[in-house]
Structures are given as C-alpha cells and as structure tokens.
A and B are shown apart, each in its own frame.
Chain A
C-alpha cells in the first residue's frame, strides 16, 4: 500500500530536549516536505527536499533541521525545542513533474512544555 509514515504520532517533551520526527515514503517520490499546522494559520511549509542531499527552506524554517540521505526518508529534527513549536506536523511526498500532488502522513502532534 502506498503510504507516508510518520513516527511518533504523539510526542510530549520539554524545552531544550532534542527530538527527531521520522518520515518515510514507499512510493519512490523525489519530493518530500514538512509542514506545521496551527489553528487559523493553515499549513505552513518548514523545509522541503527535491531529491537526495537536496534540501531547502520553506516559509518557517527557524528552529528546525532536516536531512535527506536516502530517497525514502526525510526526518525533521528539533535541536532545542521551544513551546512555540508545539504544533501538528505533517510530512508529505510527491513525484516531481506530476503537478506536485502531495501525499500526506497521518501527522505528529507535538507538545513542548
């Protein structure tokens, strides 16, 4: 089954404790992206990647890091989480040149205390 898998689904952590949210897709998609969703603001793009070892900033990259060492994986790293990073996070993937129709993971709800 074609899917984008995020882990964990729920995470509660404390300020400053480094964490990683994993994202994996099994569709051989070149493009992967991370979004955060906050009430009233819709989805805002954090980082995206157009292929292995190619990453770029989205609209709200501050406080986040990503890496793309393998085509299927695109982890999101919060080196020193802060309460304003409490949010619902989504990973998505798509095939380049196919009009960027994106497939989303189920989401990771993060609370930073």
Chain B
C-alpha cells in the first residue's frame, strides 16, 4: 500500500531558487529515504534519515523528519537545471519493506 504522500505534486522554480517538498506517512518507520527519478529512468537514492534523527544534510540537500507529525521535508538549495526530476519519499517500517509515495515533479527553469 502507498505509505507516503508527497506535496506538492508538481513544482516549478527558477534556477538558483530553493525547492521544498513534503512527505507525510501513516505508520511508524525505521527510516525515511528520498529518491530522485529523471524522466522514465530508474530511481536513485539521495539521502536517508533515521527515525531518531531530526535533520540531515548532503551537499545541497537538507532533509527534516518530524515523527510526531509523521512528516518529512526535502529542501534543495540553489537549484540547477539538472535538478529537474521527480522526487519520491520512501518509508521503511522494517529492513525489507520500502513504500513509495506518488512523487513530486520538480521543473527548474533556466
């Protein structure tokens, strides 16, 4: 079943601006992950945040997790044209299950 839901469904920003997308989920998790998918290609893992962590950074990515609200956010700073892609949150209730949301499509305009 689809566990995570991303918001917004689509986002269009100017190059250099920040992009923020949110993910809400329903059940308890071990960790939450974000993946990127370029048009029609396979997903690529971006970042993982554990249930006992509140914030994590990786390059221009910043992820937050609020387990009390069952929500996470992904911030991409100083966006580039190459960031144009769909972004998915995936929740891991255990070591062998990963449930994906429907994704946020981000378009970065030059």
Contacts and interface: CB of A to CB of B under 8 A. Distances in A.
A90 interface: yes
Given A41-B2, A43-B88, A90 B95 contact: no
B60 interface: no
A100 B90 CA distance: 10
A101 B48 contact: yes
B44 A104 contact: yes
A31 interface: yes
A42 B88 contact: yes
Interface residues of A, number: 28
B11 to A, nearest CB: 16
* Chain A, interface SS category: strand
A74 interface: no
Contacts of B33: 101
Interface of B: 1-2, 30-31, 33, 40-45, 48, 50, 88, 92, 95-103
- Enumerate the 6 nearest inter-chain pairs by beta-carbon distance, A residue then B residue, closest first: A104-B42, A42-B102, A43-B100, A104-B43, A42-B100, A106-B42
7 contacts: A41-B102, A92-B43, A99-B50, A99-B95, A100-B92, A102-B43, A106-B41
Given A42-B102, A99-B31, 4 more contacts: A43-B100, A44-B2, A50-B96, A97-B95
